Amino acid sequence: MRILKATAENILAASKIVRRGGLVVYPTDTVYGLGCDPLNVEAVKRLFKAKGERKKPLPILASDIEHVEKIAYLSERARKIAARFWPGPLTLVVPKKPALPDVVTCNLDSVGVRVPRHDIALHLIHLSKGLLVGTSANKTGEKPSQTAYEAAEQLGKEVSIILDGGPTALGTPSTVVDLTSEKPKILREGPVRLEDILQI
């Protein structure tokens, strides 16, 4: 494992690891993320093992809404909310497309997706074919990492590279909203408030 400053050269190196099926840690606008190629089933299995968790569906970060639509169905309502809050700390749970392997969602027919507001994360995701697993960089039950060194303490033995982009701005995971039924439902409170979402 290497902790490397998140320079353009090192972000490119991390994206090559992702494309080869490896695991990386990277900064986002919320907390540090643990990532791999979500379309690579073996990489996803290794990521679950690294987290050491009872399996929970993995959120996916995208470089833009066009890449979200490669793996998920977005309703008109979802598009309106995305237009207002993306890039940003809001994860939308929406129906998944068959292109996304079932292992990612633990066989659920929905997936959590978002576009982060963070230049390093967006650059890495773009170089990694536009999609990247975006689960928090921590072991199950432990506190999400706000710095590269916190992530290294928990996952250093499990990943190939940790990109150091300094402390995360928000330091708390994204708001998660379920849009799979008629009424939006908050699954996790975070930086974006339900009232603001309902206004949209």
pLDDT at 1 over 80: no
CATH number of the CATH domain containing 157: 3.90.870.10
Bridge partner residues of 26 (DSSP): 33
For 186, the enclosing helix (H) or strand (E) is strand 185-188
pLDDT, tens only, 110-168: 999 999 999 999 999 999 999 999 999 999 889 999 999 999 999 999 999 999 999 99
DSSP 96: B
Could you tell me the two tokens for 165? 């982009």
Q: Does pLDDT of 20 surpass 90?
A: yes
For the chain, how many structural domains are there in total?
1
Confidence category of residue 62, pLDDT binned at 50, 70, 90 = very high
Contact 27, 120 (CB under 8 A): yes
Q: In the block, which residue shows the tokens 């992702």?
A: 18
Q: What is the pTM of this model?
A: 0.96
Amino acid at 104: V
Domain membership of residue 158 as a residue range: 2-199
DSSP, collapsed to helix, strand or coil, labels residue 114 as strand
* pLDDT tens per residue, range 75-120: 999 999 999 999 999 999 999 999 999 999 999 999 999 999 999 9
In this structure, are strands 175-178 and 90-95 parallel, antiparallel, or unpaired? parallel
* 3-state DSSP assignment of residue 15: helix
